[in-house]
């Protein structure tokens, strides 16, 4: 059996080499051929993952931040042969790992590889790109691009929340048309957020009904409202009760087609993506991911 370790040397600081050594030691119990590939530039992780598909590897272990994990998923998606995916989270938010109960401590995450316990997981496809967790459109989503690396390191998920809250309270809306399984929604919104999992931006209660392989986006459209109503909505957001608010349109759908009359850019897994319009769909149970035994 063959396994590939995709390592972002800039993640994990000086411990990256130690993590890689521990992964290799753990995999030796199951795999007799182990390759380590180190990324040097954007796109390397995706290219390595695709190479593993073509060469019929049995597992790909991605070690790094959310960007590295996203790239690995893009390299594996819709390939004829898809190796099992292992995730060693070294990012700021690590939503995908949180949703799968993968430990955020790297050594603990490495230990689950030994169990060979796999779970089928949905991924999303937006135009010609793939994502693991969430897409978002609106001034709040765009505000996240201005969060500095230093602030992300210091505050973690709270950095995104603080920047988004400032935009939220400014009252800036955008006009969207959203087609979905049950029809179409049109109007002014502060934010459209469509999640594949229950963990978004490090907050694990945002979409409590979302399962990692239910084949659906769990989309929330926060409608135009007064600033006092915006402030009153924040506790609902924190408690995972957004879908119960009259100010929020909750949509459960296998696809989303989103258009706007003005220029807006979609946020994909926390990173700046591509401009609207976009077509997104769920690829149900598309990847097999190493998870702790307790997930079963």
The confidence band for 293, taking pLDDT boundaries of 50, 70 and 90, is confident
Q: Are residues 91 and 173 in the same domain?
A: no
Q: Are residues 81 and 167 in the same domain?
A: no
Q: Are residues 141 and 107 in the same domain?
A: no
Q: How many domains does the chain have?
A: 2
Residue 127 forms part of a structural domain: no
Q: Are residues 160 and 19 in the same domain?
A: no
Q: Is 271 designated active site?
A: yes
Whole-number pLDDT of residue 223? 79
Whole-number pLDDT of residue 295? 45
The confidence band for 288, taking pLDDT boundaries of 50, 70 and 90, is very high
More confident residue, 208 or 202: 208
Residue 183 forms part of a structural domain: yes
pLDDT, tens only, 241-271 = 555 556 788 999 999 999 999 888 898 887 8
- Tell the burial category of 174 from Cβ atoms under 10 Å away from its Cβ (0-12, 13-18, 19+): buried
Q: Are residues 118 and 195 in the same domain?
A: no
Whole-number pLDDT of residue 181? 97
Q: Give the three-class secondary structure for 278.
A: strand
* C-alpha separations of 237 from 165, 200, 250, 284 in Å: 11, 11, 13, 26
pLDDT, tens only, 20-62 = 899 999 999 899 999 999 999 999 999 999 999 999 999 999 9
Mean pLDDT over each residue of the chain, to the nearest integer: 83
Domain that holds residue 74: 2-122+286-295
Q: Is the entire prediction scored with pTM above 0.85?
A: no
Map tokens 């988004």 to a residue.
164
Residue 185 forms part of a structural domain: yes
C-alpha to C-alpha distance for 95 and 197, rounded to whole angstroms:
8
The DSSP string of 137-170 is: ESHHHHHGGG--HHHHHHHTHHHHHHHHHHHHHH
Whole-number pLDDT of residue 163? 54
Residue 267 forms part of a structural domain: yes
Q: Are residues 163 and 240 in the same domain?
A: yes
C-alpha to C-alpha distance for 83 and 59, rounded to whole angstroms:
5
C-alpha to C-alpha distance for 191 and 248, rounded to whole angstroms:
10
Whole-number pLDDT of residue 54? 98
- Note every long-range contact of 169-172, with CB atoms under 8 Å and residues 24 or more positions apart, other chains counting: 169/227, 169/230, 169/231, 170/139, 171/226, 171/227, 171/230, 172/139
Residue 234 forms part of a structural domain: yes
More confident residue, 94 or 175: 175
Q: Are residues 145 and 234 in the same domain?
A: yes
The CATH code of the domain that includes 167 is 2.60.200.40
The answer on pLDDT for 161 being more than 80 is no
Residue 187 forms part of a structural domain: yes
Residue 129 forms part of a structural domain: no
Cβ atoms 33, 2 nearer than 8 A: yes
Q: Are residues 19 and 145 in the same domain?
A: no
Give the pLDDT mean for 275-280: 95
Q: Are residues 278 and 290 in the same domain?
A: no
C-alpha to C-alpha distance for 180 and 219, rounded to whole angstroms:
10
pLDDT, tens only, 109-160 = 999 999 889 999 999 999 999 999 889 888 666 655 555 556 555 545 444 5
Task: Specify the range with the lowest mean pLDDT, choosing from 151-160, 174-183, 225-234, 283-292.
Answer: 151-160
pLDDT, tens only, 222-244 = 876 555 555 555 555 545 555 55
* C-alpha separations of 81 from 59, 165, 237 in Å: 11, 42, 39
More confident residue, 65 or 286: 286
Residue 161 forms part of a structural domain: yes
Give the pLDDT mean for 2-16: 83
Q: Are residues 249 and 275 in the same domain?
A: yes
Catalytic residue among 271, 274, 288, 296: 271
Cβ atoms 277, 258 nearer than 8 A: yes
Residue 88 main-chain phi, psi, to 5 deg: -115, 100
Q: Are residues 91 and 181 in the same domain?
A: no
* C-alpha separations of 143 from 126, 221, 270 in Å: 21, 17, 11
The CATH code of the domain that includes 109 is 3.40.50.10330
Q: Are residues 155 and 275 in the same domain?
A: yes
């Amino acid at each position: 059996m063959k396994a590939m370790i995709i390592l972002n040397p800039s993640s994990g600081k000086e411990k990256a080499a130690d993590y890689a050594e521990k992964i290799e030691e753990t995999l030796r119990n199951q795999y007799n051929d182990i390759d380590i590939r180190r990324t040097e530039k954007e796109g390397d992780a995706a290219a390595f993952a695709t190479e593993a598909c073509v060469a019929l590897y049995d597992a790909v272990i991605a070690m790094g931040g959310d960007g590295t994990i996203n790239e690995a998923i893009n390299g594996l998606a819709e390939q004829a042969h898809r190796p099992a995916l292992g995730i060693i989270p070294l990012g700021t938010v690590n939503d995908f790992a949180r949703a799968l109960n993968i430990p955020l401590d790297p050594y603990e995450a490495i230990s689950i590889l030994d169990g060979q316990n796999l779970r089928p997981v949905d991924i999303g496809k937006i135009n010609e790109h793939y994502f693991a967790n969430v897409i978002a459109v609106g001034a709040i989503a765009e505000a996240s691009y201005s969060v500095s690396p230093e602030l992300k390191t210091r505050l973690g998920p709270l950095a995104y929340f603080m920047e988004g809250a400032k935009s939220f309270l400014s009252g800036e809306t955008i006009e969207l048309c959203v087609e979905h399984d049950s029809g179409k929604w049109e109007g002014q919104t502060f934010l459209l957020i469509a999640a594949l999992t229950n963990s978004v931006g490090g907050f694990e209660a945002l979409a409590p009904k979302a399962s990692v392989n239910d084949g659906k986006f769990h989309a929330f459209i926060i409608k135009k409202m007064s600033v006092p109503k915006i402030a009153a909505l924040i506790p609902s957001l924190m408690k995972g009760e957004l879908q119960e608010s009259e100010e929020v349109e909750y949509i459960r759908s296998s696809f989303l087609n989103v258009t706007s009359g003005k220029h807006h850019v979609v946020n994909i897994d926390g990173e700046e993506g591509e401009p609207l319009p976009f077509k997104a769909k769920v690829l149900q149970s598309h990847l097999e991911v190493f998870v702790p035994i307790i997930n079963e």
